A and B are shown apart, each in its own frame.
Chain A
Amino acid sequence: MELVTPGIGLIFWQTVTFIIVLFLLSKFAWKPIMNALHERETSIENALSAAEKAKLEMQGLKAENEKLLAEARMERDKILKEASDAGNALVETARQKANEEGSRMIAQARESIENEKRAAITEVKNMAAALSVDIAERILRKELSNPQAQQELAKDYINEVTLN
């Protein structure tokens, strides 16, 4: 029974001492300790979130870089394609032009050949005519040396003329 009977003296000292301890420790130990802990935790948290943010930013930057790179690549491909297209077109045009020129030249040549041919034929014709006339003159000159033949010819002409 002695053991479980609280003594007045100890209750008194325990109450007084404990309340003083509670007050002093709260004011001079727990408050600065808790504040310091809180501050440190906040600063660590901030640092961590800043690092996270920086990481995200880096990722964003990287993605952007990749996008830029991809765009540049696309641009390069486009330019290359355009250049090659242009080259092809140029070659095509040149070929076409050359073809045309060729055809034109061929046509021209053909035309001039035709002209030449025609001129040559005309000349041959003229020459043949002149020759024929010449031959005819010579024949006539020989034929019409007798007067009878001259009359007969005149007669023929007159026959032809009277019909008109």
Chain B
Amino acid sequence: MKKLFILLFSFLTITASAEAPVEGGEFKPGDMITHHIADDYNWHFADGVTLYLPVILIDNGTPKVFSSSNFYDENHELVPYEGYMVSHGHIYRADANGQPAADQSSLIDISITKNVASLFLSVALLFAVFFTIAGSYKKNNGKAPRGIQSFFEPIIIFIRDEIAKANIGPKYERYMPYLLTVFFFIWFNNLLGLMPGGANLTGNIAVTLVLATLTLLITVFSGNKNYWKHIFATPGVPVWLAPIMIPVELIGIITKPFSLMVRLFANITAGHIIILSLFSLIFIFQSIAVGPLSVAFATFMNFLELFVALLQAYIFTLLSAMYFGGAVEEHDHVGDHGHGDGAHH
């Protein structure tokens, strides 16, 4: 554990150099920040420490795999390679003049980008941590938890008791694997994103889109009779209102996970932008005097982001659980129809 902290702090010392403008010339904070929070075909840890990641393209059904280092010349300038080129963070078919060609159809880019690499890293971490813990449970079966097991056990129990049981009810057990996975996936990736040089994975809309879609699919497929009845024949609402109510309820199905997607994306990205902006102040003012202030604020923001990392994972999990709970809820009381049903919107 101590070693981990030392490693973490040694990374922190690199932060300053990582945040510095590398391209030379005039410093553009907007470009720097966008560059840091956006995806990339290589992983730039620090000056001179760049990991070129594999590019995977499916061009008209033909897979093409090559290193992204081919897109850079010795001066670190972008160059076309084998008829493809990178422009504004995307790969396009290049024409003879080195410009994106007019025909970009059926070119699918599934490269291992910085975010995908970070995703794999987080998955390796998740497996390492939770397979170890599962092993500990087998080893000290029935005994008190120890080590890393005792750190995660309260969290797992919290998710089970306070999130799943409290919001889903008796059928909570079916949703536990998803809730636990989504919680730890988001939390781990939020933290990895805070690491200097880390990718902004949970602050990428594609990732949050997939997570929110999974929540949506699970909600829709576990919806019981009451859930659908609530949408197509809301109890207590006159029939003539149905043309308004049904579309509203249908939109509601989509807006719930949509809010999940945007919330996680916006919170994490905003955190990154704030920290990077604070560091940019040093270079905007070109003064060492701003440094301590900037660092103080950025440190404070970093701590805040550590909290936000946990909070957003919690909120995503909690809201998912509430949506599942709404889908499997049973209305035992006949008299309950028509009043008190609007509470869980």
A3-B37, A9-B109, A13-B110 known; A25+B142 contact, CB < 8 A:
no
Answer whether residue A2 sits at the interface, using C-beta atoms and an 8 A cutoff: yes
Bound together, the chains give a CA A21 to CA B130 distance in angstroms of 11
Nearest-Cβ distance from residue A71 to partner chain B, whole angstroms: 46
Residues of B within 8 A of A14 (CB): 119, 206-207, 210-211
Inter-chain contact A11/B130, CB cutoff 8 Å: no
Answer whether residue A4 sits at the interface, using C-beta atoms and an 8 A cutoff: yes
Flag A3-23 by CB within 8 Å of B: 1 or 0 each.
Answer: 111111111111101101110
Inter-chain contact B131/A28, CB cutoff 8 Å: yes
Nearest-Cβ distance from residue A104 to partner chain B, whole angstroms: 92
CB contact between B214 and one of A18, A24, A28, A36 (< 8 Å): that residue = A18
Nearest-Cβ distance from residue B249 to partner chain A, whole angstroms: 26
Residues of A within 8 A of B39 (CB): 7, 10
Bound together, the chains give a CA A30 to CA B180 distance in angstroms of 8
Residues of B within 8 A of A88 (CB): none
Inter-chain contact B110/A26, CB cutoff 8 Å: no
Inter-chain contact A2/B180, CB cutoff 8 Å: no
Nearest-Cβ distance from residue A31 to partner chain B, whole angstroms: 8
Answer whether residue A32 sits at the interface, using C-beta atoms and an 8 A cutoff: yes
| Chain A binder among B43-51, B153-161, B226-234 | B153-161
CB contact between B113 and one of A3, A9, A15, A40 (< 8 Å): that residue = A9
A28-B134, A33-B156 known; A2+B116 contact, CB < 8 A:
no
| Pair count A-B, CB < 8 A | 115
Inter-chain contact A33/B116, CB cutoff 8 Å: no
Flag B91-127 by CB within 8 Å of A: 1 or 0 each.
Answer: 0000000000000000011111101100110010011
Bound together, the chains give a CA A153 to CA B173 distance in angstroms of 157
Inter-chain contact A34/B116, CB cutoff 8 Å: no
Inter-chain contact B116/A13, CB cutoff 8 Å: yes
Kindly report which residue of chain A lies nearest to residue B55, judged by CB atoms. Answer: A9
Bound together, the chains give a CA A14 to CA B131 distance in angstroms of 21
A2-B38, A5-B205 known; A10+B137 contact, CB < 8 A:
no
Bound together, the chains give a CA A37 to CA B126 distance in angstroms of 19
Answer whether residue B76 sits at the interface, using C-beta atoms and an 8 A cutoff: no
Answer whether residue B176 sits at the interface, using C-beta atoms and an 8 A cutoff: yes
- Count of residues in B whose CB is under 8 Å from the partner chain: 49
Nearest-Cβ distance from residue B253 to partner chain A, whole angstroms: 20
Interface residue SS majority, chain A: helix
Nearest-Cβ distance from residue B290 to partner chain A, whole angstroms: 27
Nearest-Cβ distance from residue A7 to partner chain B, whole angstroms: 5
Inter-chain contact A34/B176, CB cutoff 8 Å: yes
Answer whether residue B88 sits at the interface, using C-beta atoms and an 8 A cutoff: yes
Inter-chain contact B142/A40, CB cutoff 8 Å: yes
Nearest-Cβ distance from residue A44 to partner chain B, whole angstroms: 9
Answer whether residue B178 sits at the interface, using C-beta atoms and an 8 A cutoff: yes
Answer whether residue B255 sits at the interface, using C-beta atoms and an 8 A cutoff: no
Inter-chain contact A29/B134, CB cutoff 8 Å: yes
Flag A81-93 by CB within 8 Å of B: 1 or 0 each.
Answer: 0000000000000
Answer whether residue B138 sits at the interface, using C-beta atoms and an 8 A cutoff: yes
Inter-chain contact A9/B111, CB cutoff 8 Å: yes
Kindly report which residue of chain A lies nearest to residue B110, judged by CB atoms. Answer: A9
Inter-chain contact B180/A10, CB cutoff 8 Å: no
Residues of A within 8 A of B110 (CB): 8-9, 12-13
Answer whether residue A43 sits at the interface, using C-beta atoms and an 8 A cutoff: yes
Bound together, the chains give a CA A11 to CA B261 distance in angstroms of 13
Residues of B within 8 A of A77 (CB): none
Inter-chain contact B205/A4, CB cutoff 8 Å: yes
Residues of B within 8 A of A24 (CB): 127
Answer whether residue B328 sits at the interface, using C-beta atoms and an 8 A cutoff: no
Bound together, the chains give a CA A34 to CA B113 distance in angstroms of 35
Pairs A–B under 8 Å by Cβ, sample size 16 = A2-B89, A3-B34, A3-B38, A4-B265, A6-B204, A9-B109, A10-B204, A13-B116, A14-B211, A18-B185, A20-B123, A22-B177, A28-B134, A30-B176, A34-B176, A36-B142
Q: Which residues of B contact A (CB under 8 A)?
A: 34, 37-39, 56, 88-89, 108-113, 115-116, 119-120, 123, 126-127, 130-131, 133-134, 137-138, 141-142, 153, 156-157, 160, 173, 176-178, 180-181, 185, 204-207, 209-211, 214, 265, 269
Closest 6 CB pairs of A and B: A26-B177, A6-B206, A36-B137, A29-B130, A10-B206, A14-B210
Q: Which residues of A contact B (CB under 8 A)?
A: 2-15, 17-18, 20-22, 24-26, 28-34, 36-37, 39-40, 43
